[in-house]
Chain A
Amino acid sequence: MAKFSKKTKTSENIPTSALPDIIFMLLFFFMVTTVLREQEILVEQKIPQATQLQKLQKKTLISYIYIGKPKNTGLYGSEPRVQANDALLTPADIVQWVNQERDMLPEADRNMITISMKIDRDVKMGPISDVQTELREADARRVLYASVGKVQKD
């Protein structure tokens, strides 16, 4: 028993003087990576996984479209809906929306507009294909199926 107490006593305090530095480092990381969400997402978003992800170089060319079941089913029903900017659209409004988005880009880049489709994994292909038909109509043919990385099994 006495053996334990015989141990030489080293200082029991953990030096915390470097703590603020560590915290500041974390803080700066989050400050730099953060994007304050400018719009509220009204539809469910469980982004599917995929392996062959590519990154786009020019982020200014991307416009986002969200498709999924509305979160507020009482107000918007339970069928998948399309959200762009801050409001839910009907497929017929998409052409107009794309044209608005395109007008915001510099002239040289207008034909390079890319639509990032953030689609909930439970949506069926029917509504997606309707949206794609509208995008073809609006001549915004570059589409990015947003997805998150999957751990690859070899």
Chain B
Amino acid sequence: MARKKNRMSQEVNAGSMADIAFLLLIFFLVTTTIASDKGILNVLPPKLDPNNPPPEIDKNERNIFTILINANDQLLVEGEYAEADGLDEKIKLFVLNFGQPNEEAQGLYNSLPASLKAMSRRDPESSDHPGEAVVSIKTNRGTSYDRYLEVFDLAKKAYFEIYAERVNLRTEEYRALTGKDEAEQSLIDRGKEGIPMAISIAEPDKIGS
């Protein structure tokens, strides 16, 4: 019985499917903004309590790597006019200087891979050991954000390179670690151990802005 029915064609006409899909595609192409939640993480210092001023910190000048950026976006690194290129190398040399390591820092030094040991210059004028070293970035109110981010980026880069080197990863691989499981967390911790990422952002000054 059913056979007798005269079917013209059994296929659905799919020729216009591409057109419909194209239309939808163009709609989504136009409305899409690919979410980018990437960026440089920074933790701000806690707020100042007027009744409880922060303790005076006596840090030796040699333990602070000062970077000043003025309103014309020029850099003053450790008292000398400098360009941004090579700043990450300078920071690495500063952090890994081991000028006067205490016992703990000596142990840390011994645990470092040879490539990082080679960066230690034991310069008495530079940082005592990584635990003491602080990179300080001070801007002016007129400094452009672009420049500030570039310098901050380089400081982060220096630390990430040290961490990655310690756990034998490439820098990108180390940075991609999120600590979502124990293995990743332990890698992060091993990289950071004893070398805190001490990047201090000083309050910008108002002069010349």
Q: Chain A residues in contact with chain B, CB under 8 A?
A: 16, 19-20, 23-24, 26-27, 30-31, 33-37, 48, 50-57, 59, 62, 114, 116-117, 119-126, 128-129, 132, 135-137, 139, 141-149
Min CB distance B15 to A, Å, is 9
The number of inter-chain residue pairs (CB within 8 angstroms) is 157
Complex-state Cα separation, A139 to B48, whole angstroms: 11
Complex-state Cα separation, A58 to B98, whole angstroms: 37
Count of interface residues, chain B, beta-carbon cutoff 8 Å = 51
Min CB distance A120 to B, Å, is 7
By a CB distance below 8 angstroms, the chain B residues around A116 are 37, 39
10 more A-B residue pairs beyond the given contacts A114-B41, A124-B209, A142-B42, with a C-beta to C-beta distance below 8 A = A27-B21, A31-B28, A33-B32, A48-B145, A48-B146, A57-B179, A129-B141, A136-B44, A141-B45, A144-B40
Complex-state Cα separation, A36 to B33, whole angstroms: 7
Within 8 A of A (CB), among B184-209: 203-204, 209
Complex-state Cα separation, A13 to B153, whole angstroms: 53
* B43–A141 touching, CB < 8 Å: yes
Q: Chain B residues in contact with chain A, CB under 8 A?
A: 14, 17-18, 21-22, 24-25, 28-29, 31-48, 139-146, 148-150, 152-153, 156-157, 160, 175-176, 178-180, 203-204, 209
* Interface of A: prevailing SS: mixed
* A53–B39 touching, CB < 8 Å: yes
Closest chain A residue to B176 by CB distance?
Answer: A55
- Most chain-B CB neighbours within 10 Å: which of A51, A56, A132? A51
